[in-house]
């Protein structure tokens, strides 16, 4: 399992329970990661506060700091999570 550097740095600060939970999840995600999803350059931070509108029309995107080549579905997931939920409830 490829453990992210930030997890190694945080490990001493975690409880045993949290360490086991995160380690198990990282292992699960590593074993079940779909390698066949379409990828390309993504914004990776498409929250509402990074999108500009002029009146009711889209006019721009801010904050490309997190942009990288990754799974395209991540941009959709981040956007849906932020734009389609109110207090953790899906807003159809």
CA 52 to CA 60: how far, in whole Å? Answer: 5
Q: What are 22-79's pLDDT values in tens digits? A: 889 988 988 888 888 999 999 999 998 999 999 999 999 999 999 999 999 999 999 9
Q: Which residues pair with 85 in a beta bridge?
A: 90
At 8 the pLDDT is 82
Q: Which residues pair with 53 in a beta bridge?
A: 58
At 4 the pLDDT is 73
- Which helix H or strand E contains 57, and what residues bound it? strand 57-61
∠ CA(8), CA(33), CA(75), 5° rounding? Answer: 90
At 7 the pLDDT is 78
At 30 the pLDDT is 85
At 2 the pLDDT is 67
What CA–CA distances, in Å, run from 19 to 3, 30, 71, 85?
Answer: 12, 16, 27, 29
């Amino acid at each position: 399992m490829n453990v992210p550097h930030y997890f190694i740095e945080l490990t001493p600060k975690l409880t045993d329970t949290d360490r086991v939970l995160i380690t198990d999840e990282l292992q699960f995600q590593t074993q079940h990661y779909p390698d066949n999803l379409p990828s390309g350059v993504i914004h990776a931070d498409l929250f509402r506060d990074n999108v500009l509108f002029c009146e009711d029309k889209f006019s721009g995107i801010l904050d490309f700091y997190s942009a990288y080549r990754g799974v395209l579905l991540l941009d959709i997931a981040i956007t849906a999570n932020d734009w389609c939920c109110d207090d953790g409830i899906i807003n159809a």
